Amino acid sequence: MKEAVKKLPMVALAIGLLGISVNVFLAPHHIAAGGVSGIGILVEQALGIDRAVTVLLLNGVMLILTFFFLGRLIFINTVIGSILLPISLAIIPEVMVAEDRLLSVIVGSAVFAVGVAMLYKMGASSGGTTIPPLILKKYTGLSTSIGLLTTDAIIVVFNIIIFGFEEFLYAIVSIAITSIVMSYIETGLKRRKAVMIMSENSIEEIKEKLLETVSRGITVFSVSGGYTGREKNMLMIILSNQEYPTVLKLVDSIDNNSFVIAYNVAEVHGLGFTYQPLG
């Protein structure tokens, strides 16, 4: 519980982003893109019940299920978000800041993804429809991803009944954007290029030039050719995307027959990447 209290400011910020996403971007355009907030939007349109009330009631039921079926730890990690989400939906006014529906869906879904990703990073949750899949996984072995997909699919389909087919399509787009942005955030924002360099006769010259030109460390691997069996050295260097063309041009100027492999890495930590020392 102490850890949960320490996380409270960041959890509140994340939940606030969810509230902004729903009340400012999605709900004004009648987009119910899954989750308990999506149910709230649908119920408000169909029955006139405030979405914050619907979310509060649903989250209350889910908290009870969490306590009895998933245990104390998950309950503690869920309770704060479950309480804050309906509060967020209640206090953040519904304002249509962009009349363009597609633009609102794109921005709103991205904001929602950031909020959910922040909660995941802290091991917190906004409760709601994330709970039943966890219970099903515990007692039946059903994958949580399948459970979540099924739940969101049912909610999205109700867009056709309550709002119309166009809103249904926008809800699908919203879920897709949210998934893409969340995946990008979860796999790292500090994306760089890892470059492997091999040269038959100029590897030392390339290494020296790289050390002179680029302020990055270089790792030297001892490798052997699969066909010839000859031992040789291979260089590995981590670069920013902006540095890569310069390094490629430098390597080609020394040995245009060199063999270079470059691939994207999700995240890099360490001196020169995670912070820049003050000179």
| Over residues 171-194, mean pLDDT | 81
At 248, the amino acid letter reads L
pLDDT of residue 72: 82
CATH number of the domain at 192-265, please?
3.30.70.120
Distant-in-sequence, close-in-space partners of 154: CB < 8 Å, separation ≥ 6: none
Confidence of residue 268 (pLDDT cuts 50, 70, 90): low
Distant-in-sequence, close-in-space partners of 245: CB < 8 Å, separation ≥ 6: none
Distant-in-sequence, close-in-space partners of 223: CB < 8 Å, separation ≥ 6: 198, 231, 232, 233, 234
| Over residues 271-277, mean pLDDT | 46
| Over residues 130-134, mean pLDDT | 82
Task: Print burial letters for 195-231: b (CB count within 10 Å at least 16), e (below 16).
Answer: bbbbbeeebeebbebbeeebebebeeeeeeeeeeeee
Name the residue ranges covered by the structural domains of the chain. 2-186, 192-265
pLDDT tens, 7-55? 788 889 999 999 999 999 999 999 998 889 999 999 999 999 999 999 9
Separation CA 25–CA 4 (nearest Å):
29
pLDDT of residue 52: 94
Mean pLDDT of the chain: 85
- For residue 155, pLDDT over 80 is answered with yes
pTM for the model stands at: 0.71
Which of these, 182, 183, 210, lies nearest to 197 by C-alpha position? Answer: 210
| Over residues 141-166, mean pLDDT | 86
pLDDT tens, 69-118? 888 878 887 888 899 999 999 999 999 999 999 999 999 999 998 988 88
Separation CA 198–CA 201 (nearest Å):
9
For residue 181, give both structure tokens. 């942005």
| Over residues 156-161, mean pLDDT | 93
Residue with tokens 């209350």: 60
pLDDT of residue 276: 39
Separation CA 213–CA 211 (nearest Å):
6
